[in-house]
Amino acid sequence: MNDSAFHSVDGVMHVEDVSAASLVEQFGTPLYVYSRDALTRAYRAYADACANRRATAHVAVKANSNLAVLNVFARMGAGFDIVSSGELARVIAAGGKVSNTVFSGVGKSATEMCEALELGVKCFNVESIPELHALDAVAGSLGKRAPVSLRVNPDVDAKTHPYISTGLKSNKFGVAFADARAAYRAAHAMANLDVVGIDCHIGSQITEISPYLDAVDKLLELVEQIEADGMKIHHIDVGGGLGITYDNETPPDIGRFVKTVLDHIDARGHGARDVYFEPGRSLGGNAGVLLTRVEYLKPGEEKNFAIVDAAMNDLARPAMYEAFHRIVPVVERAVVTAQRYDVVGPVCESGDWLGRDRDLAIEQGDLLAICSAGAYGFTMSSNYNTRPRAAEVMVDGERARVVRAREEVAQLFAGESVLPD
């Protein structure tokens, strides 16, 4: 397995001290299972590397927004990075501190700004001049000042999938590098904004440190110009995006990544500033699996299909990004010979696949674990095909607890109604 919280005992996958097969017996499939220990260790790697430095990790809520998951991080003193007022509500419900939460996102509404200002978020990461005007107006109407940082697009190649690369010029995110100085001047001139920092987020599933160092260099170049214009940049937010091992990628480990970035900023003479990180995938990604049952094995002339009870509505990443997730049997079978399968779901779309060309020794009714599903798994799930969303379970040592109940069909159309005549 990718992470020692997920391991095999006598040929049966275990999550910490609990057999995955017994979890399915209790809670059914499809089932998301998270390891508290794996979540804790990933966050601690950030916290330890940030300790005694002016650095903070803000957990990106969108990667895994389950309250129990957020609560594990909140108990450890984490900050949070949100992209909607819904996520802010989750942070609060999970025991996180609003005062240690930054508000990112390219399209914040006035209502969301208003709520976040009233509740006291630490910083708004603003992505355009119109958004600066909107925030200034909201702050003015509330008689408050809004702390802002501009998300600058450093135009570096994060060398990742085009859908999850965000720091290029052609991207919808951030303020173009060439326009950033003027945007800061505009922010400075607004009556109700306090410029406090600068930020970027160059992409996701980044497996090298060099794009971060390139981005930092460009940000620091700007910081000097912005300060020459009379503003003070208190913090540099380098965003999230650190990759994980899905297959055979070799991303830097979290501690080395954080230290390298911090040392780089120090070496450039900016060590007195606060540095923020916004990790998502690297915290939860390898702390969760999706368990599913093989409904049918369907041999074909060109391909064999293993049709499972999880689908693209449960785990969208393969359909959306052609993402690779390792798929392993929960119980190893010695007597069955492996065959090559496409692992697909029951949804009526050809794009509904979870893994292609996988050699698996399986029979109908067997359980499979789709690995590395703890980030952008459940949070991207939908009810397409009127499929109730999976249950989520958190394992903590020998204990397993449902942290989100499996949806029931009646819930799915509870808010709908037919015309009266």
Closer by beta carbon to ligand PLP, 54 or else 161: 161
CA dist., res. 228 & res. 266, Å (int): 20
Token duo for residue 328 = 């392993």
* Structure tokens that stand for 293 in this block: 């049952």
Report the distance separating Cα 301 and Cα 205, nearest Å.
36
348 catalytically annotated:
yes
Q: In this structure, how many other beta carbons lie within 10 angstroms of the beta carbon of residue 5?
A: 23
Of residues 242 and 390, the one with the C-beta less far from ligand PLP: 242
Least Å from the CB of residue 232 to ligand PLP: 23
Task: Tell me if 149 sits within 8 A of 237, measured CB to CB.
Answer: yes
Among the options 114, 123, 200, 348, which is catalytic? Answer: 348
- Give whichever of 149 and 192 is closer to ligand PLP, judged by the CB atom: 149
Closest distance to ligand PLP from the beta carbon of 200 (Å): 9
State which residue, 14 or 62, has the beta carbon closest to ligand PLP: 62
- Which residue type, as a one-letter code, is found at position 244? I
CA 284 from centroid of its chain's CA atoms:
7
Distance, in Å, from the CA atom of 207 to the CA atom of 241, rounded to the nearest integer, reads 9
Nearest residue to ligand PLP on Cβ basis: 280
Q: How far apart are CA 206 and CA 242, in angstroms?
A: 5
- In the complex, the smallest distance separating the C-beta of residue 377 from ligand PLP, rounded to whole angstroms, is 12
Q: Which residues pair with 13 in a beta bridge?
A: 8
By CB under 6 A, name the binding residues for ligand PLP: 60, 62-63, 81, 104, 201, 204, 239-242, 278-282, 375
Give the count of beta carbons closer than 10 Å to the beta carbon of residue 114: 18
Least distance from C-beta 166 to ligand PLP, angstroms?
A: 7
Angle between helices 36-50 and 67-75 (to 10 degrees): 40
For ligand PLP, the closer CB: 101 or 282: 282
Q: Which is nearer to ligand PLP, 96 or 329 (CB)?
A: 96
Which CB atom, from 243 or from 345, has the smaller least distance to ligand PLP? Answer: 243
3-state helix, strand, coil in the chain (%, to 5): 35, 25, 40
Provide the minimum distance between the beta carbon of 296 and ligand PLP in the complex, in angstroms, as a whole number: 34
Distance CA 310, CA 387 (A): 10
Query: Cα(105)–Cα(381) distance, rounded to whole angstroms?
Result: 20
Q: How far is the CB of 103 from ligand PLP (least distance, A)?
A: 10
H runs (alpha helix) in 120-209: 129-142, 177-189
Q: Would you say 42 or 311 has its CB closer to ligand PLP?
A: 42
Rounded Cα–Cα distance for residues 315 and 313 (Å)? 6
Nearest alpha carbon to residue 33 among 79, 66, 73? 66
**Cis bond upstream, residue 130 (ω within 30):** no
b/e per residue 336-360 (b: at least 16 CB within 10 A)? eeeeebbbbbbbeeeebbbbeebeb
Least distance (Å) between residue 327 CB and ligand PLP: 22
SS3 state of residue 266: helix
Residue 292 beta carbon to ligand PLP: minimum distance, rounded to whole angstroms: 23
Active-site positions read 348
